[in-house]
Chain A
Amino acid sequence: MTASQIRAIILEVIGQILPDEDLSKLKGDVRIRDQVEMDSMDFLDIIMELRKRYGIEVPEEDYMKLATLDSAVAYLEPRMAHL
Chain B
Amino acid sequence: MNGRAQQKDGAGCSRITFVKGPRRVTDGQRIVITGIGLTAPNGNNLTEFRRNLVNGKSGVRKHNVRYLGDTIAGVCSHDPLKYQKKKDLRRGTRAGSTSIYCCQEAIADAKLDLSSVDKSRIGIFIGITEHGNVDTEKQIFEISQFNYDTKFVSHHYNPRIVANNPAGEVTLNMGITGPHYTLGAACAGGNLGLIQGCQMLLLDQVDIALGGGVSETIHAFGAFASFRSEGALASHEDPEKACRPFDKDRNGVVVSEGGCIFVLERLEAALARSARIYGEVVGYAINSDALDFILPNSEGQAKCMSLALKMAGLSPDDISIISTHATGTPQGDPQECKAIRQVFGDCRHTYINNTKCMIGHSMGAAAALELAGNLPSFEDHVVHPTINIDNLDPDCAFENLVVNRSRKIDKVDYILKNAFGMLGINSTVIVKRFEG
Contact = CB atoms under 8 A, between A and B. Distances in A.
Nearest to B81: A20
Contacts of A42: 87
Interface stretch (B152-160, B223-231, B322-330): B152-160
B152 A51 contact: yes
A41 B91 contact: yes
Nearest to A57: B151
Contacts of B154: 48
A37 B85 CA distance: 12
Interface in B357-384: none
Contacts of B86: 19-20
A26 interface: no
A30 interface: no
A19 B87 contact: yes
B310 to A, nearest CB: 50
Nearest to A52: B152
A48 B87 contact: no
B67 interface: no
Interface string B124-162: 000000000000000000000010000110111000000
Interface in A2-22: 17-20
B348 interface: no
Contacts of B90: 17, 19
Contacts of A37: 87
B85 A20 contact: yes
B152 A48 contact: yes
Contact of A52 (B87, B91, B146, B156): B146
A44 interface: yes
B418 to A, nearest CB: 42
Contacts of B87: 17-20, 37, 42
A3 B154 CA distance: 28
Contacts of A51: 151-152
Contacts of A41: 91, 155-156
Nearest to B85: A20
Contacts of A17: 87, 90
Nearest to B87: A20
Interface string A37-49: 1000110110010
Contacts of A48: 152, 154-155
B155 A44 contact: yes
A58 B269 CA distance: 56
Interface of B: 85-87, 90-91, 146, 151-152, 154-156
Interface of A: 17-20, 37, 41-42, 44-45, 48, 51-52
13 contacts: A17-B90, A18-B87, A19-B87, A19-B90, A20-B85, A42-B87, A44-B155, A45-B155, A48-B152, A48-B154, A51-B152, A52-B146, A52-B152
6 pairs of A and B residues whose beta carbons are closest in the complex: A19-B86, A20-B85, A44-B155, A20-B86, A20-B87, A18-B87
Given A42-B87, A52-B152, 13 more contacts: A19-B87, A19-B90, A20-B85, A20-B86, A20-B87, A37-B87, A41-B156, A44-B155, A48-B152, A48-B154, A48-B155, A51-B151, A52-B146
